[in-house]
Amino acid sequence: MNRFAFNCPNSQCSSQKLEEVMVDVTVTSEVTVIGGEEVLQYGKQTNLDGYVVRYQCMKCGQHIANNEDELFKSKALSPNEKENSR
């Protein structure tokens, strides 16, 4: 499958970072340090279950799509020429 680049459609923003938002996720983290200034420090994290509710711009929060199908139809994506020429 071809690769795509994300460009935020918000003209005030221009971010190229897209994020996926999930809900109903169970997160488990290894506790690596107990006590001290930060009280608890964490190591490896695991996410279980959950489902995607939307894709949005990581910087301004602009809503892009509700699922993968909509994401790939979005005008915020354009062919990533650099990656596709490899």
Site string for Zn ion, 14-43 (x = CB under 5 A): -x----------------------------
CA atoms of 55 and 46, how far apart (whole Å): 21
Interface residue with Zn ion, options 19, 54, 56, 59 (CB under 5 A): 59
Interface residue with Zn ion, options 22, 60, 80, 84 (CB under 5 A): 60
Nearer to Zn ion, 10 or 41 (CB): 10
Q: Where are the beta strands (DSSP E) in 1-86?
A: 4-6, 18-34, 40-57, 63-65, 77-79
Query: Hunting for tokens 């490896």 — which residue is that?
Result: 44
